[in-house]
Copies of this chain bind each other. A is one copy, B any other.
């Protein structure tokens, strides 16, 4: 059960501890997320309809595998540093105060920190049911199970 009494009224986002599990991906993709750290802001306040994370990328870090969702929308807002947005349309350099949105079924995308310093951004994604994630560049597919967990398989359907 959720203990509503433990929820703060408000917090400084950078004061929230990063989640301990760095990625849900199976290997060899898990290791690629080593430079990524997520502070689960929405979860802290008991939100369930969508997630909000403050995510920090170390130099060389990436936000995710290149991917698109079938039923979920996503949005990112850069808080600090310099990040490269990679989409089917090419690459765009993002700095603090810039944002991008990824409607369901749209371009595949990911963010990469190719700078020498840390970069951080807010990421929002909803929890629409029956979501499927496709990865154009990697042999992996993901399906959102009814219990809210991601099930990862190879593209031929065999499990990881």
Contact = CB atoms under 8 A, between A and B. Distances in A.
B9 A85 contact: yes
A117 interface: no
A45 B13 contact: no
B46 A10 contact: no
B48 A101 contact: no
Contact of A41 (B94, B101, B104): B101
The copy count of this chain in the complex is 2
A128 B128 CA distance: 10
Interface in A40-75: 41-42, 44-50, 52, 72-73, 75
A9 B100 contact: yes
A11 B98 contact: yes
A21 interface: no
6 contacts: A10-B100, A11-B99, A42-B73, A49-B72, A122-B122, A124-B124
Interface of A: 4, 9-14, 41-42, 44-50, 52, 72-73, 75, 77, 79, 85, 87, 89-90, 92, 94, 97-104, 106, 122, 124, 126, 128
